[in-house]
């Protein structure tokens, strides 16, 4: 299998190139040149079995199967349940996929615990050194640090918007006392952090000199690891299932789209946004229109530039890189673009969007606690709000994604329910741990200067 850029301006690469490079040299995102399919009669048993089968489709000889299985077993040994991503049934129609059982109690652990081990595998094999650069709205940073801090030869810089993540999210990044880990607070929002990462990857000389690699969902390997939990869950519903996915950067719901392309029995994908509703507005109009980022109770979704949407748009445009580049150029220059009706229809056949403001978020937390005796975080609440809005129009069973443990956002949960969720035992002393971070101006040059020392 080869990986091509959505913008068509660089040679195809293999899985290793997509893993270690992250962003394509032409500024595009890597995607498989053809979509593989799951074998006929596919019937997964354990989560590790599903992961081995799915990832083998994308790795094409990068790693032998026994070694891959060993890495998978090590990656998920730190999760507090053997199922990795357990499915919890709440009523006859609704189940919740719990993705917060990893070491940083958020869904990013599922991919990044594996990604760190893939980096380590390659770096030990080649003796290379890399600089891992990532942007986070809250959860990616801590999961990336936890997953990659032991990778041999890796220096890790995580950019996050200063004073925007929750205290738990921030402390999970800033209390890691490791010489190769650098938590960097940027005086801006997540989109600013993401733009800096892309700008530095576009700087060919700097990228080469530092051997940059990415941990954001611009890295195809991270998407591939997230595809696993959709495939594993969907095969519990042979007649088909709908997923409701709270998302800002479109990476998580794009992984569901990939699972569907592989042949998993998936029906509709509901894109659930908070007040930063650029995706909802797109699915209502066919126009991607950037606006100002507004702080919300679900800060991991406070995003107005959904980077991974480029991948699904590439498919919807018939994999035409020139058409894709036109859209991206318009977005860069004008902050907006329109997609052709034919491409829009392709997307609407799979996706629908909905928004949820802070009042609805609190109401969903309270309602879920009252009706099911189940406590959810504000991001998961966005998905539950969407379920109540769409439950009469979605055919078949529905799975809502629980993307973070409620203890990551205790203030919002307490406001909605009157009870403050405790941190898991492994994080019980988090508020006492000393913090280490650097505050810098909102500029790529400031980050470059920090990395160069």
> DSSP character for 425?
G
Q: Which position among 2, 108, 290, 449 bears the catalytic label? A: 108
What is the 3-class SS of 283-342, one letter each residue?
Answer: HHHCEEECCCCCCCCCHHHCCCCCCCHHHHHHHHCCCCHHHHHHHHHHHHHHCEEECCHH
Q: How many CB atoms lie within 10 A of CB 431?
A: 11
Count of helix runs (H) and strand runs (E) in the chain: 18, 15
Query: CB-based contacts of 221: which residues, under 8 Å, 6+ apart?
Result: 15, 18, 19, 111, 114, 115, 118
Residue with tokens 């990778």: 151
Find all residues with CB under 8 Å of 308, minimum gap 6, and list them.
Answer: 29, 217, 218, 223, 249, 250, 251, 254
Strand order in 266-273's β-sheet?
A: 87-89, 94-98, 398-402, 241-246, 266-273, 351-355
State how far the Cα of 89 lies from the Cα of 57, in Å rounded to an integer: 30
Listed in sequence order, the residues at least 6 apart from 286 whose beta carbon sits closer than 8 Å to its beta carbon are 338, 339, 341, 344
For residue 32, give the H/E element and its range. Answer: strand 30-32
419 as an active site residue: the answer is: no
What amino acid positions are annotated as catalytic residues?
108
């Amino acid at each position: 299998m080869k990986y091509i850029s959505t913008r068509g301006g660089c040679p195809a690469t293999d899985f290793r190139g997509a893993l270690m490079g992250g962003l394509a040299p032409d500024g595009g995102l890597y995607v498989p040149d053809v979509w593989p399919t799951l074998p006929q009669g596919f019937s997964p048993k354990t989560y590790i079995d599903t992961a081995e089968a799915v990832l083998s489709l994308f790795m094409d000889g990068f790693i032998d199967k026994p070694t891959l299985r060993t890495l998978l077993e090590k990656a998920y040994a730190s999760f507090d349940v053997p199922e990795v991503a357990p499915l919890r049934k709440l009523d006859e129609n609704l189940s919740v996929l719990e993705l917060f059982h990893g070491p940083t109690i958020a869904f990013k652990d599922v991919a990044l615990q594996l990604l760190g081990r893939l980096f380590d595998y390659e770096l030990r094999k080649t003796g290379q050194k890399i600089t891992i650069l990532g942007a986070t709205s809250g959860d990616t940073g801590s999961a990336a640090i936890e997953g990659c801090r032991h990778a041999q030869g890796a220096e890790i810089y995580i950019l996050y918007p200063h004073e925007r993540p929750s205290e738990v999210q921030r402390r999970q990044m800033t209390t890691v006392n490791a010489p190769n880990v650098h938590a960097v607070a940027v005086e801006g929002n997540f989109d600013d952090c993401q733009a800096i990462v892309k700008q530095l990857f576009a700087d060919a000389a700097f990228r080469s000199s530092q051997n940059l690699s990415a941990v954001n969902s611009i890295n195809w390997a991270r998407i591939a690891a997230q595809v696993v939990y959709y495939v594993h869950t969907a095969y519990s519903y042979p007649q088909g299932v709908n997923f409701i996915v709270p998302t800002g950067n479109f990476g998580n719901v794009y992984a569901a789209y990939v699972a569907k392309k592989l042949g998993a029995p998936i029906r509709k994908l509901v894109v659930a946004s908070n007040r930063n509703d650029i995706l909802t507005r797109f699915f209502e109009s066919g126009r991607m229109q950037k606006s100002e980022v507004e702080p919300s109770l679900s800060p991991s979704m406070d995003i107005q530039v959904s980077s991974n949407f480029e991948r699904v748009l590439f498919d919807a445009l018939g994999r035409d890189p020139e058409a894709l580049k036109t859209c991206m150029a318009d977005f860069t220059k004008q902050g907006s673009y329109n997609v052709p009706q034919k491409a829009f229809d392709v997307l609407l056949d799979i996706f629908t969007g909905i928004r949820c403001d802070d009042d609805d978020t609190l109401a969903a937390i309270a309602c879920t606690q009252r009706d099911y005796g189940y406590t959810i975080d504000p991001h998961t609440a966005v998905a539950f709000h969407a379920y109540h809005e769409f439950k009469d129009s979605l055919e078949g069973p529905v799975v809502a994604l629980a993307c973070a443990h409620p203890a990551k956002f205790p203030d919002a949960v307490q406001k909605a329910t009157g009870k403050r969720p405790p941190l898991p035992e492994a994080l019980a002393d988090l508020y006492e741990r000393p913090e280490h971070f650097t505050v810098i101006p909102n500029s790529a040059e400031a980050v470059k200067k920090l990395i160069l020392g």
